[in-house]
Amino acid sequence: MADPLKQYLSRHAEPEAAAADALEGSFGHVLVVPAYGEGESLFATLGSVREGPRGPTLIVVVLNARASSPPAIHEANAAALERLRSAATAASTVSAELGVESLDYPHGRIVVVDRASPGRFLPEGQGVGLARKIGNDLALRLSAAGRIEAGWLHNTDADTILPDDYFDQTEARESDEAAAAVYFFEHRFEADERLALAARLYEISLRYYVLGLAWAGSPYAYEAMGSCIAIRPAAYAAVRGFPRKNAAEDFYVLDKLAKTGPILRFGGAPVLLEGRISERVPFGTGKALSQLLSKKRALEGFRLYHPAVFAHLAAWLRVLDETAKSGRPEGALAELPQSNPFFRTDVLLAALERMGAFPAVREAIAESTTERAMKRRFHTWFDAFRTLKLVHALRDEGLPSMTWREALGEAPFSGLSASTVEDPEPLRRLLAAEERKLSEEPAGIGRD
């Protein structure tokens, strides 16, 4: 076992990881699925998992809840556990102490980690992040012991349908020196017209943001969705796994992973996501749809970032690139437009000042000996989180968001014109096609 893996497993892994030692067998692939109050959607997800090119798949299902979770969540978790057990061809206890059991099925194995029963509840304030970490830590221990043949820890959610070639997509990139991979996705739309419209607009907003980042030259232009992530074991250990957050754990783990190696952006058959209302976490698809449908005229007035926000981001990234070459930010900053009504240099500089960008740049200059090292330090500091923070500052302080039709018609990266912005469904497909083009190159800042 490599030292970083050993150190992570001995110092930072969740207790349930130890159950891997008592689990029998080896597997071709491993997939982690957190489940919180799921019913039919969980079993649809499990039914979509195929055996991969390396052999049988181990699915680690982490049933989870907090003591304060609503009664309906506890009831659904108990029903899901009973259904999993009753459908198995064989069942065995891996660790009674840790609440881990193994269930055999005709096409593979499911390990269930019970963090949804009294005495095993997740701590208050924690949720899906900890559930993902528990499952991945167990999978990592198996991988480190040579019992997972494929070199990936796959992750999805309990409301997805995986494509038939799901594991083949990572297999085709096995030789890439990547830290992680992000699968392409699409939403499945409900028959309810308003819910379907909300899901389409939400997907448009996700793709619009990533396309805007890519157009601006950001190395963090990828979809941060826990349902679509695969991670290299060594990279997972290097960033100390998923944060134990109740939301945005996927955003933060990818932010860290992008600093350790490339993030592959797949353009193959998509992971299908359910466009449903949910209050499971304070962020994400379900919450966004709930908010959209709860407000009067929210769908009609749905807004996207002003396209100029990404032009300002692009200008800042050019400043960083030029500074890495010259070692002097003054010249690059002087090139920013000073009397252009369409470019708010004052707003950009004020936002960067409040973020502490200029001291960070000076520190990077002082501690770097090469252009490459300096550029890496710049982008390590100005990461996905600070990129989003700058985007929000620009939006709030001078470049207010526009209606979705206006933004798509004006954005230079949408591939659309104002005359083509009508029905959201063909627009969603056009933006998906534009985002697929990003799969030709990885994201992230790589390694020195």
Do strands 180-182 and 263-265 pair parallel, antiparallel, or not at all (unpaired)? parallel
Say if residue 281's pLDDT is above 60: no
Say if residue 289's pLDDT is above 80: no
Compute CA distances 157 → 70, 168, 207, 248, whole Å.
20, 19, 20, 14
- Mention every residue, 6+ apart, whose C-beta is less than 8 A from residue 338: 345
pTM listed for this prediction: 0.93
Give the distance, in angstroms, between the CA of residue 362 and the centroid of all CA atoms in the same chain. 31
Tokens of 125: 């304030």
Question: Which region among 124-133, 150-159, 280-289, 439-448 has the lowest average model confidence (pLDDT)?
Answer: 280-289
> What DSSP assignment string belongs to 124-173?
TT--HHHHHHHHHHHHHHHHHTT-B-SS-EEE--TTEE--TTHHHHHHTT
CA–CA gap between residue 219 and residue 224 (Å, rounded): 13
- Which tens digits make up the pLDDT trace of 78-134? 999 999 999 999 999 999 999 999 999 987 899 999 999 999 999 999 999 999 999
- Which tens digits make up the pLDDT trace of 235-268? 999 999 999 988 899 999 999 999 999 999 999 9
* Beta bridge partner(s), residue 161: 272
- Which tens digits make up the pLDDT trace of 6-57? 999 999 999 999 999 999 999 999 999 999 999 999 999 999 999 999 999 9
Give the distance, in angstroms, between the CA of residue 305 and the centroid of all CA atoms in the same chain. 20
For the domain made up of 3-294, give the CATH fold.
Answer: Spore Coat Polysaccharide Biosynthesis Protein SpsA; Chain A (3.90.550)
Average pLDDT (208-219) is 98
Highest mean pLDDT among 132-136, 292-296, 335-339, 342-346: 132-136
Average pLDDT (394-403) is 95
What amino acid is encoded at 1 in this protein?
Answer: M
pLDDT value of residue 415:
83
Kindly report the average pLDDT of the chain as a whole number.
92
Say if residue 396's pLDDT is above 80: yes
CA–CA gap between residue 112 and residue 25 (Å, rounded): 16
What residue ranges do the domains of the chain occupy?
Answer: 3-294, 306-400
